[in-house]
Amino acid sequence: MNMWQCAGWSDEVTDHPVGRTLLNRRIVMFRDANGTARTVGARCPHRGADLASGTVVDGCIECPFHGWRFDGDGQCVRVPSQPATVKIPPHARVPAFPLLERNGVLWVWMSAGEIQLGVPPSDAGGIQRGVPVPDPPATAGRNVRRIFFPPQLIAAPILRTLENAFDEAHLPFIHRKTFGADRDPLVERKHIAVDPDGGGLVAQEDPDSPWHTAPTLPRGWVGVLAAMLGLRAPVARYVRFELPCVNHVYLEYPNGTYDLFVTYLTPADDAHTWLFVSSARTRAPHALGDWIQRRVLARIFAEGSRETTLILAAGSDSPPRQVSVESDRTSLRVRQLYERWDEAPQAPRDDGGARAQRPGEAL
Ligand code: FES
Ligand SMILES: [Fe+2]
């Protein structure tokens, strides 16, 4: 895939290595002596130990098995079982992958294609790509609270996970205790605007929808607390999709404050997907607001584990032809854009169908 892919959050990579499987490859992220985040393949070329279980020493990653050390370029720089005067075999290296750190997000380039520096998807949707997005919020500034939630490994393939991220109709059934509580199951028809280059879309309320729903707010004490924290029926909202895999949900309230959820999806392997959810908001811009949002997100993910079972069940015994209705239209358009991009000619794929690439050497 010739794209920058989200690999995680900046604050995950401290003085410990972080191992992760992305695009069918085990990688390890760590910081070099300058504090720059680096990514290399995690399989030690000596006897195959997982470098992610090792330690970071002098800005290098040290294998836990026999202590070989690899720098941020993937080159072995130390073999403790021999004196420093003895030459290290030139093949003692692991692939290195370019990594960008931007606004708290880590972007990895795992493709063989030519690197497009400086074009990972932006926080603010299509703005960077010159695509008009309604009411673009600033995601940095004094009154903006930013949260990076713990990455979630979802046991479902990317396409199903992606579709699900744009599926509004499941909320009152699966997310009964969080944002689906007391929600009207009716889903209004959306107006969908696809970017001219097919790289994304924006879906928002269609004033001409044949039916309308009134936004509902949580009831009971949760509702009282939410109202105290500025939660009101939104006056504007949209969802945005951007290739390779970003989902934005934007809600704006009568006093001009907003909630923006930005989710990056990256395939781990053919059956698992990483979900990196972050939020930016000006509503309730304080620590209590952060605490509540973290709690709510944790509950949503807990509800989602049931959802994953349903998604997987559908995957193992799918109907030969899926039946869709109006409320599936946004998901279907997103799926179409993703599939069109995924099937477009890409840089050559290596090892037995793995989507990533021939890394390292070309870099
Ligand atoms: S397996 Fe890594 S140093 Fe031996
Ligand atoms: Fe869900």
Question: Which ligand sits closest to the CA of 61?
Answer: 1
Backbone angles phi, psi at 33, to 5 degrees: -60, -25
CA dist., res. 124 & res. 273, Å (int): 23
Instruction: Measure 35 CA to ligand 1 centroid, in angstroms.
Output: 25
pLDDT at 42: 97
Question: Which ligand sits closest to the CA of 42?
Answer: 1
Q: What is the pTM of this model?
A: 0.87
CA dist., res. 239 & res. 249, Å (int): 5
Determine the atom of ligand 1 nearest the C-alpha atom of 49.
Answer: 1
Residue closest by Cα to atom 3 of ligand 1: 66
pLDDT at 78: 97
Cβ contacts of 163 within 8 Å, gap of 6 or more: 331, 332, 334, 335
Q: What's the one-letter identity of residue 50?
A: D
pLDDT in tens for each of the 363 residues of the chain?
A: 567 889 999 999 999 999 999 999 999 999 999 999 999 999 999 999 999 999 999 999 999 999 999 999 999 999 999 999 999 999 999 999 999 888 888 989 887 766 665 555 555 444 444 444 444 456 666 688 989 999 999 998 999 899 999 999 999 888 888 878 788 899 999 999 998 888 889 999 898 999 988 877 877 777 788 888 888 888 888 999 988 888 989 888 998 888 999 999 999 999 999 999 999 899 999 999 999 999 989 999 988 887 887 766 666 566 668 899 999 999 999 999 999 888 876 544 333 333 333 222 222
Determine the atom of ligand 1 nearest the C-alpha atom of 67.
Answer: 3
β-strand pairing of 25-31 with 18-22:
antiparallel
Q: Tell the burial category of 142 from Cβ atoms under 10 Å away from its Cβ (0-12, 13-18, 19+).
A: exposed
Residue closest by Cα to atom 1 of ligand 1: 47
| Residue 68, ligand 1, Cβ within 6 A | yes
pLDDT at 46: 98
CA dist., res. 267 & res. 145, Å (int): 28
Instruction: Measure 326 CA to ligand 2 centroid, in angstroms.
Output: 18
Instruction: Measure 14 CA to ligand 1 centroid, in angstroms.
Output: 23
Taking every pair of Cα atoms in the chain, the longest distance, rounded to a whole number of angstroms, is: 78
User: Which residue segments constitute the domains of the chain, with CATH numbers given?
Assistant: 4-100 (2.102.10.10), 125-343 (3.90.380.10)
Say which residue the tokens 């899926």 belong to.
Answer: 322
pLDDT at 263: 92
Cβ contacts of 112 within 8 Å, gap of 6 or more: 347, 348, 350, 357, 358, 359, 362
Closest CA to 6 of 112, 105, 128, 126: 105
The CA-based angle 304-309-311, given to 5 degrees, is: 90
pLDDT at 7: 94
Instruction: Measure 173 CA to ligand 1 centroid, in angstroms.
Output: 49
How big is the chain by its Cα radius of gyration, in Å? Answer: 22
| Residue 354, ligand 1, Cβ within 6 A | no
pLDDT at 193: 93
| Residue 219, ligand 1, Cβ within 6 A | no
Determine the atom of ligand 1 nearest the C-alpha atom of 66.
Answer: 3
Determine the atom of ligand 1 nearest the C-alpha atom of 51.
Answer: 2
Q: Tell the burial category of 90 from Cβ atoms under 10 Å away from its Cβ (0-12, 13-18, 19+).
A: exposed
pLDDT at 256: 86
The sign one gets for the Cα dihedral 284, 289, 290, 292 is: negative
| Residue 70, ligand 1, Cβ within 6 A | no
Question: Which ligand sits closest to the CA of 306?
Answer: 2
| Residue 44, ligand 1, Cβ within 6 A | yes
Residue closest by Cα to atom 4 of ligand 1: 66
CA dist., res. 258 & res. 97, Å (int): 36
* Residues in the chain, overall count: 363
Tokens of 236: 């504007």
The sign one gets for the Cα dihedral 307, 312, 317, 322 is: positive
CA distances from 250 to 29, 241, 333 (A): 31, 12, 19
Centre a 10 Å sphere on the Cβ of residue 175 and count the other Cβ atoms it contains.
Answer: 18
For residue 358, is it left (φ>0), alpha (ψ between -120 and 50) or beta?
left
Question: Which ligand sits closest to the CA of 51?
Answer: 1
